[in-house]
Structure 1
Amino acid sequence: MIEKGFSQPTDRIVRLKNQILNARPFVESERAVLVTEAYKETEGLSAIMRRAKAAEKIFNNLPVTIREDELIVGSITKNPRSTEICPEFSFDWVENEFDTMASRVADPFEIPKDTAADLHEAFKYWPGNTTSDYADSLMSKEAKDCIANGVFTVGNYFYGGVGHVCVDYGKILKIGFRGIIEEAVKAMDAMDRMDPSYIKKQQFYEAIIITYNAAINFAHRYAAKADELAKAESNPTRKQELQQIAKNCAHVPEYPASNFWEACQSFWFVQSMLQIESSGHSISPGRFDQYMYPYLEADKSISREAAQELIDCIWVKLNDVNKTRDEVSAQAFAGYAVFQNLCVGGQTADGLDATNDVSYMCMEAVAHTKLPAPSFSVRVWQGTPDAFLFRATEVVRLGFGVPAMYNDEVIIPSLQNRGVSLADARDYGIVGCVEPQAIHKTEGWHDAAFFNVAKVLEITLNNGKNGTTQLGPVTGEMTNWHSLDDFYAAFEAQMAYFVKYLVEADNCVDIAHAEKAPLPFQSAMVDDCIGRGTSVQEGGALYNFTGPQAFGVADTGDSVYAMKKFVFDEKKISMADLKEALDANFGQPVGAKAASAIGEDLTEDQVYAAVRKVLNNNNSMDVSSLKDQVYRTLETNKSGATPSKYEDIRRMLDSAPSFGNDIDEVDMIARKCAQIYCMEVQKYTNPRGGQFQAGIYPVSANVLFGKDVAALPDGRPAKAPLADGVSPRQGKDINGPTAAANSVAKLDHFIASNGTLYNQKFLPSALAGDTGILNFTSVVRSYFDHKGMHVQFNVIDRQTLIDAQREPEKHNDLVVRVAGYSAQFVVLAKEVQDDIISRTEQNLTASC
């Protein structure tokens, strides 16, 4: 039976939601000042004790804020949707943007002058003392060159704390923080003092005890604040709410939750304190329905409506968490993304269907709040009830880009293949964008790097060069290739070279976090750190991985197929002509606007300098090629025509069948190109003793890092966005949603066990009525039957997006799926908006 519609949110939820939508994000300085003071006071102590003392100072002194109408309390910042700074990881980029962060293209934050002054003073302590400084000192010149030339970036953990974790929320609900302290004391008392590891483990346990006592005090400070507000409150209803909030915070999370409201409050304290301890994003609630449902079921005093409002309040609080990044990274993560992935459905550890009332209430919360966070996900397997999938589809057609859907039949065996037990694999959750992990037992280092497969293709086509720089190994000029085998030999050699330095760079950052910034609060909630006496960052988790993700797979596959078809098979284009066309960017004037603007009355060097500046210091083209392009551009401006030779070649290449249309010959090439990356990555291990595992997902980096890639043999001009995740190139999947999904399913999702990301965009009419829901769920079931791992949807028409781009003030509440997350459309950079607009609009027919 298909349900009809959703209930209306309460007035409270509408007001809380509007606080988020209307908030002006600020940078705040309190945490930065407190952590700096703590580090100055703890010179000479071990890293883990310094972290404990820093957490203690922050939890004891961070301002306590209870916002109007809140039922669930605990705020990281004074202002809604604002951010604190964590200078122990990196800081100089913040100072460099004091005057520009409020006006930058992506994710602007205001920094008041007094805040900037406080941060400037705090930052004086940190040069040479950050994790990023240490990681940089460990990294080779070759690895840094790869980063500087756009092959990969490890900026996520280089600039911030380690996130991408799902801790044991259910354990805290059962035993409370006091129970964690008792576990640490018991483990410390049981140690043999003659054991060589005694002192280091003892320091770890002491750090947990210090941190968790301070965390208990943090909650008690909220109890006192709520009590203070209650005494001054004249509205009897709000007074009673504040009194109950005070009681809740006095009891949880110190002790086990005794009812559903306390369980919700305890959950939120854990979530917010994890964010306070470090700046790692993608701290994900995991299987929320599984650990919350027992408290709802047992609480006979709460109505369904009251329980729903509490879950709605949690949804709003998840949107209050924010994070600032440097200007370039902000473009890659555009939309104030924090990636708190909350997952429902799927199966239990013993293989039974896990769907419960909270699973459905979470879907209701999406409809009530209509906000970007959390990154809401559902797990689907052969035992998923039709009613659950139908309800999830109803949420999809609301148009907020959620839920993303994950296939148990692929993810569970892929985790088992990495050494995860069957029970733990069945109990997986999703963290960050799309990354599966055995919840509260894994340090996955997901999102450890962005790796640009299309850039490696470009470098392969240029015999290891990026412009005039010999960046990779010499593997032969493309004009000397006589078959596709020659290309693959060169491509695999380049891939091996660049993955080697990707691994080195990731391991340098990994070591820096282990030695300078272990996290005792987080570690105590991850198995089996207490048992092993070791922090998460030093290898205390049961499962340890590093997961760098690739993008540009479809661009690479289509390019290789185009070479196969037109150069090697049909011989319609010579390799020499192809190279000339690529070097000329198909005659398209990358710098046309610049050239026409500056005119032709300048010297050659002045023209070159001006265009180089406009091209934003693009290093993918050598000086002579760029000058040639400028002259062609100027000639084009005179004649009004693009050189026909290059345009004819581009049109031919662009006419080749593309990945995304269920054509085996094309799809198998894309599969092979992705496998080359994945298989190379999995050869390596990390400092925590775990394996590297590949993922294929881009956040929104396909737009940003497309700027680093020159023209490709699929007809794509230089600097254009790349395909996102495992999705086909924008506009190239022309045979309908089933054909597109069949192509994506042919990729080896089992080997890409760090996650794959597939975006589809549907017209709203495609999901209309019961017929639309039935057709849509059939497409999802078919894709998953063909062993696709993940799919997510935008249900919106192109004109609505264009209207929102033109008149953002009228579309403030328009939420869209960007990549592994949703965001307000109007806050995205225009180029990211354009990328979403350009995605193929699919429809559904009976034949689907």
Structure 2
Amino acid sequence: MSEAWRQFSSSIPSPRIERLTDGLLSVTPEIEAERALLVTESYKETEAAPINIRRAKALEKILSKMNIVIRDNELIVGNLTTKPRATQIFPEFSNKWLLEEFETLAKRKGDVFLISEEAKQNLREVFQYWDGKTVNELATEFMFTETKEAMDAGVFTVGNYYFNGVGHISVDYDKVLKKGFNGIIAEVEEARAKADKSDPDYIKKDQFLLAVVITAKAVINFAKRFAEEARTLANKSLNPQRSEELLRIAENCEWVPANPARSFYEAMQSFWFVQAVIQIESNGHSISPMRFDQYMYPYYEKDIASGKITKEEAQELLDCLWVKFNDVNKVRDEGSTKAFGGYPMFQNLIVGGQDASGKDATNELTFMCLEATAHIKLPQPSISIRVWNKTPDELLLKSAEISRLGLGMPAYYNDEVVIPSLVARGVSLSDARDYGIIGCVEPQKGGKTEGWHDAAFFNMAKVLELTINNGMAGDQQLGPKTGEFTSFTAFDQFMDAFRKQMEYFVSLLVNANNSVDLAHGERAPLPFLSSMVEDCIGKGKSLQEGGAYYNFTGPQGVGVANVGDSLMAIKKLVFDEKKITLRDLKDALDTNFGDQGQSAVERKLNSIDDISREAVAEIFKKLLLEENKTSLDELKNVNSNINIDLGTKKDKEYVRQMLINGAPKFGNDIDEVDDLAREGALIYCREVEKYKNPRGGQFQPGLYPVSANVPMGAATGATPDGRKAGMPLADGVSPVSGRDQTGPTAAMNSVAKLDHYIASNGTLFNQKFHPSALEGQQGLENLSAVVRSFFDQKGLHAQFNVISREMLMEAQENPEKYKSLVVRVAGYSAHFTALDKSIQDDIIERTEHSF
């Protein structure tokens, strides 16, 4: 391999790239109805057909009839919508929420979409056909009543796949580049010819394989439509250079993706057709290119060696492709925009790391991918880097240089944690070494895995709240009765109760996930997507039916630091030092530390004017036995004084300050609290990994929130870490904002103590640095050293916002001046001004570090 990459230096983007990016940033996203009309038309025509054939015929109709566009200045072509950054609608997954939000889409605080009256009318008519036929409706029918009640109470949400396509996958792009879809068709026809017709599943398998052939041919014809359009535009163009470019585009689209790519340019175009059509077939996001620098490098290396392309030309093609990633969009319900704010599509592209044989895989394209991110300064693709002990210093320094731009990218991943964690889940060593990242932080072997990553958000802090309330949510007995909080005499008793509540609610989470999983398999298999994942063709099954080689379901726990800090406060201040009684703590939490007036007990007692001690005891009995709102302890200790003083708002704020300041906090490298955070997370993770999914695979836990820590906090009452009701939960496995007070290294040391191996669906650690921390060469070296140190301690992931609090506050006040400002939200970056204010506030409040 050439060592020229060691001298790779930064460049500036071409004027073409600036024009393309300006064109994207100048528009407000719109909703288009074209796909919804076409898929509905197709479904009406195929009522009697098997579901895989219906899905294939629907994609065929969409690709043959949708409006195709070649935008000015483009070198890589293939649109999903007529207008830039627009979105299509996928009524087969869900639609009623959109019908209810037509009039508010343009008035949202975040993720605004325009929609014409014509589109509204078309969609209203389309949605009538889908009433009772959607994936969402079937999944709801599968769920237990208790499951739906827990979701309504904010214990967990499966809204991601409940309302949309699954996504969260990386296909075998390399296979398409090497064989083309004609090669895949030949592979399928051979499998059909060799199939055992006596197999009782033969008919179903053959229908799936036939569906694959239909979709492969549809994509080939889709590309040829672009070839024809390019020639038409070339003939009309008055610009000789653009005419020549369009004719080259036509040649590319005639050849790929039907046939194997013969050049770097053809490989790029073939790749994009795959990327685009996956997202036309289904609106599942996180369609991740993963190890792009590995499967694209042979085409680049060959063309450079032969003189067919220059580095500058190749870089411009990369930059053009990077712009195309940002043309992909989707509309979510308004509630989900608080968990996925900023129009994110989570197309994770990762570079570096080691190859399947365990050798360092860094190459020249690795650096050029990072350079493309620096050139376009847009949120997509979500660029990441794999790091291990043989990662070249030059690559880490280049990555730190990109981090210094303030885009929140790249994200850093530790090979020496991810690889063994995947092997422990049954992935072969060579496959584990070839991992990439899906969506936010989820590792998998591309082209062989249906991971169902990001399958749910599980509110660990809500389970803690329910434990404190003996399974009650308001007046509803939501969870099991595990003991009145004020009756516990030892910390271990409370921990046992927490484990029992966790066990119960994780079982409901599994029911929800498996219900949605089954509904997708029955109503929305994806034959095109499945054709590029091993071993769907071999098994004769779609991904949704268990066709992948590896099958997982990956729900993630949210609120790790809140749980750790809360457990520490209870243990230290209540049981060890006895500075707070359980009753005082319970009353403080019940009243949101005095902000919501009196607790139920206080309201009863303070309504008494003149009453005997016996009568007071009777009231307590009623509360204990009938309303379940106090404990036997409180009954035994009723004060004989009629004017019982249960505490003022001032007293409860004192309790809150003691909870905040009287116990150590996660994020300061203090073993006692860090170990409790670790144990709290393990209680969740150990429960999750007990379960199987309908595709024959295993549940695997993750610890990351996307940005669901904000809405999940809104659904959670006051917690013993001093957090008030409704406030955001901690971000990922990061400390609670402002509680990590002893510097970035101490925070990393705390996070590294969590068991990142068991959380094999990914963990997410955010840090924010003031720009001055990364100034000069020393700043880059400092960041590189911090990453290596954290990974030496077996942390899994880290990412950095390098931006000042002052700039964020200025952007919040004057958004029109900061339309291009990109920040790291959670496992993704987004334009700051497109975010809901609650997410903006959460980013602003994160601890700002310096070295």
What secondary structure is seen at the aligned counterpart in 2 of 1:349?
A: coil
1:433 aligns with 2:437: no
Instruction: Select which of 462, 465, 482 maps to 2:489.
Output: 482
1:554–1:659 CA contact under 8 A, matched in 2: yes
1:693–1:754 CA contact under 8 A, matched in 2: yes
2:591–2:597 CA contact under 8 A, matched in 1: no
What secondary structure is seen at the aligned counterpart in 2 of 1:347?
A: coil
What secondary structure is seen at the aligned counterpart in 1 of 2:443?
A: strand
TM-score scaled to structure 2, two decimals? 0.93
What residue is the counterpart of 1:743 in the other structure?
750
User: Map of 1:691-770 to 2, 5 A cutoff?
Assistant: 691-770=698-777
Runs of 4+ in 1 over 4 A off after TM superposition: 1-5, 622-625
2: CA distance, partners of 1:238 / 1:280: 35
What residue is the counterpart of 1:582 in the other structure?
589
1:647 is aligned with what amino acid?
E
2:748–2:790 CA contact under 8 A, matched in 1: yes
Instruction: Select which of 655, 659, 665 maps to 1:653.
Output: 659
Deviations 1:319-349 (A, max 9, x none): 0000111110111100001100001001000
Deviations 1:103-135 (A, max 9, x none): 112211111000111111111100111111111
What residue is the counterpart of 1:615 in the other structure?
none
What residue is the counterpart of 1:336 in the other structure?
343
1:321 aligns with 2:323: no
Instruction: Select which of 638, 644, 650 maps to 1:644.
Output: 650
1:466 aligns with 2:470: no
User: Map of 1:561-580 to 2, 5 A cutoff?
Assistant: 561-580=568-587
1: CA distance, partners of 2:438 / 2:803: 26
What secondary structure is seen at the aligned counterpart in 2 of 1:430?
A: strand
1:723–1:730 CA contact under 8 A, matched in 2: yes
1:653 is aligned with what amino acid?
L
What secondary structure is seen at the aligned counterpart in 1 of 2:129?
A: coil
Q: Which runs of 5+ in 2 are unaligned?
A: 599-626, 631-646
2:8–2:367 CA contact under 8 A, matched in 1: no
Deviations 1:118-156 (A, max 9, x none): 111111100111111111111110100010000001111
Superposed displacement of residue 642, structure 1: 8.1
1:694–1:753 CA contact under 8 A, matched in 2: yes
1: CA distance, partners of 2:523 / 2:455: 18
1:122 is aligned with what amino acid?
V
Instruction: Select which of 33, 37, 54 maps to 2:41.
Output: 37
2: CA distance, partners of 1:311 / 1:162: 27
What residue is the counterpart of 2:116 in the other structure?
112
1: CA distance, partners of 2:543 / 2:812: 43
Deviations 1:725-753 (A, max 9, x none): 10000011111111000000000000000
1: CA distance, partners of 2:824 / 2:8: 24
2:666–2:677 CA contact under 8 A, matched in 1: yes
1:403 aligns with 2:407: no
Superposed displacement of residue 710, structure 1: 0.5
1:195 is aligned with what amino acid?
D
Superposed displacement of residue 776, structure 1: 1.2
What residue is the counterpart of 1:147 in the other structure?
151
What residue is the counterpart of 2:224 in the other structure?
220
Superposed displacement of residue 589, structure 1: 5.4
2: CA distance, partners of 1:140 / 1:262: 50
2:157 is aligned with what amino acid?
T
What residue is the counterpart of 1:69 in the other structure?
73
Percentage of pairs with the same residue: 60
User: Map of 1:607-618 to 2, 5 A cutoff?
Assistant: none
1:489 is aligned with what amino acid?
D
Instruction: Select which of 180, 183, 203 maps to 2:184.
Output: 180
> How many residue pairs get matched?
799
2: CA distance, partners of 1:114 / 1:401: 39
1:101–1:109 CA contact under 8 A, matched in 2: yes
Deviations 1:228-266 (A, max 9, x none): 111100001111001110111111101111111111100
1:323–1:336 CA contact under 8 A, matched in 2: yes
1:72–1:245 CA contact under 8 A, matched in 2: yes
Q: What is the RMSD computed on CA atoms of the aligned residues?
A: 1.6
1:297 is aligned with what amino acid?
E
Relative to 1, partners in 2 of residues 1:624 and 1:570: Cα closer, same or farther, differing over 3 Å?
closer
1: CA distance, partners of 2:402 / 2:670: 32
Superposed displacement of residue 5, structure 1: 6.9
2: CA distance, partners of 1:439 / 1:382: 23
Deviations 1:361-417 (A, max 9, x none): 011001100001111100001111111111111111111000000000000000000
2:654 is aligned with what amino acid?
D
Superposed displacement of residue 588, structure 1: 2.6
What secondary structure is seen at the aligned counterpart in 1 of 2:683?
A: helix
User: Map of 1:503-522 to 2, 5 A cutoff?
Assistant: 503-522=510-529
Superposed displacement of residue 162, structure 1: 1.2
Deviations 1:681-712 (A, max 9, x none): 00000000100000010011101110111011
1:795 aligns with 2:799: no
Structure with higher Rg: it is: 2
1:182 is aligned with what amino acid?
A
TM-score scaled to structure 1, two decimals? 0.93
2: CA distance, partners of 1:330 / 1:65: 29
Instruction: Select which of 198, 201, 205 maps to 2:209.
Output: 205
Superposed displacement of residue 467, structure 1: 1.0
Superposed displacement of residue 623, structure 1: 14
What secondary structure is seen at the aligned counterpart in 1 of 2:768?
A: strand
Instruction: Select which of 813, 816, 827 maps to 1:820.
Output: 827
What secondary structure is seen at the aligned counterpart in 1 of 2:685?
A: helix
1:590–1:718 CA contact under 8 A, matched in 2: no
2: CA distance, partners of 1:624 / 1:87: 45
1:48 aligns with 2:52: yes
User: Map of 1:290-689 to 2, 5 A cutoff?
Assistant: 290-299=294-303, 300=306, 301-588=308-595, 643-655=649-661, 656-689=663-696
1:570 is aligned with what amino acid?
E
What residue is the counterpart of 2:250 in the other structure?
246
1:109 is aligned with what amino acid?
F
Superposed displacement of residue 590, structure 1: 9.5
What secondary structure is seen at the aligned counterpart in 1 of 2:418?
A: helix
Instruction: Select which of 161, 167, 185 maps to 2:165.
Output: 161
Instruction: Select which of 89, 102, 105 maps to 1:101.
Output: 105
Relative to 1, partners in 2 of residues 1:2 and 1:197: Cα closer, same or farther, differing over 3 Å?
closer
1: CA distance, partners of 2:629 / 2:463: 22
1:398 is aligned with what amino acid?
L
What residue is the counterpart of 2:196 in the other structure?
192
Superposed displacement of residue 7, structure 1: 1.3
What residue is the counterpart of 2:271 in the other structure?
267
What secondary structure is seen at the aligned counterpart in 2 of 1:547?
A: strand
What secondary structure is seen at the aligned counterpart in 2 of 1:284?
A: coil
2:270 is aligned with what amino acid?
S
1:654 is aligned with what amino acid?
I
1:175 is aligned with what amino acid?
K
Deviations 1:787-816 (A, max 9, x none): 000000000111010111111111111100
Superposed displacement of residue 3, structure 1: 7.7
2:171–2:447 CA contact under 8 A, matched in 1: yes
1:136 is aligned with what amino acid?
T
1: CA distance, partners of 2:8 / 2:767: 24
Instruction: Select which of 10, 17, 28 maps to 1:13.
Output: 17
Superposed displacement of residue 567, structure 1: 0.4
